[in-house]
Amino acid sequence: EAELEIVDINEGETSTATIRVINYGLENIRRAVATLEIYDLEGQVIDTLTSPAITVPSRQSDVFTLSIDSTTYGAGIFPVTAAVDYDALRTDPISKELRIGTLYANITNYTDTVITGKITLFEVHLQNRWNNKLEHVYTEIKLFKDGVPLSQVLRTPSVEIQPWRTAITSAFLDASTLEPGMYEIEITAYYHGKTTVVRGPLKIINHFELSMTIILVGVIILMLVIDFLVWIIHKRNSDE
């Protein structure tokens, strides 16, 4: 049996893959070699690493340590598989990920629908793609109508984001004077002297639109219940 652990790193750093092989058998393993394959997102092998051969006594374990030079990979999340060949046999492959970070806060989601006439909490979801903590991350949100910027500009409180984790920051959007319709929104995240900018649509709707949806669903359910009751009454009359 084999186990795999990989150290997450940032661009240009060296990672370490630790492959533990466990000999549960009564015989010594005379020759064991570990192989590690790294893939790109298309599933193509971009690197193969092989360990020196070792012996593993019965009922014992040993560890292979492989250094992964990331200088040619770039940032990203790379699928990795490892297996150990031993005395003409092979362990089942183990799959994990090698995460190579870069200083980048990814804006993954935001509030895209707001009700007019109300003050609404506007959320921005941020993902840390760095292998270090991001500190003092905040966003600025601008609204546009037909390409014309509106006077209202939002700024969210700053947050900390742990490596590879996601955080949510928010601000209050005052839609009390905004007419229903489609708007454009520009979200800029500021962190460690860098920025990430995302542009997208924002829909402002009447509260009536939301209520009509609920009413229509209720009407449909009521009609189904009435049909069911009519069917029961008709069946009961037929049986009599």
Q: Is 228 helix (H, G, I), strand (E, B) or coil?
A: helix
Q: What is the pLDDT of residues 164-178, one digit of tens each?
A: 999 999 999 999 999
| Tens digits of residue pLDDT in 3-59 | 999 999 999 999 999 999 999 999 999 999 999 999 998 999 999 999 999 999 999
Could you report the per-residue pLDDT of 100-157, keeping only the tens digit for each?
A: 999 999 999 999 999 999 999 999 999 999 999 999 999 999 999 999 999 999 999 9
Spatial distance between the Cα atoms of 176 and 23, rounded to a whole number of angstroms: 69
3-state helix, strand, coil in the chain (%, to 5): 15, 60, 30
User: How many residues are there in the chain?
Assistant: 240
* CA of residue 231 relative to chain centroid, distance: 49
Assign residue 16 a region: left if phi > 0, alpha if psi is -120 to 50, beta otherwise?
beta
* Contacts with 14 (C-beta within 8 Å, 6 or more apart), sequence order: 67, 68, 69, 70
User: pTM for this one?
Assistant: 0.76
CA distance 174 to 188: 19
CA distance 102 to 12: 10
Tell me which residue has tokens 């009564």. 26
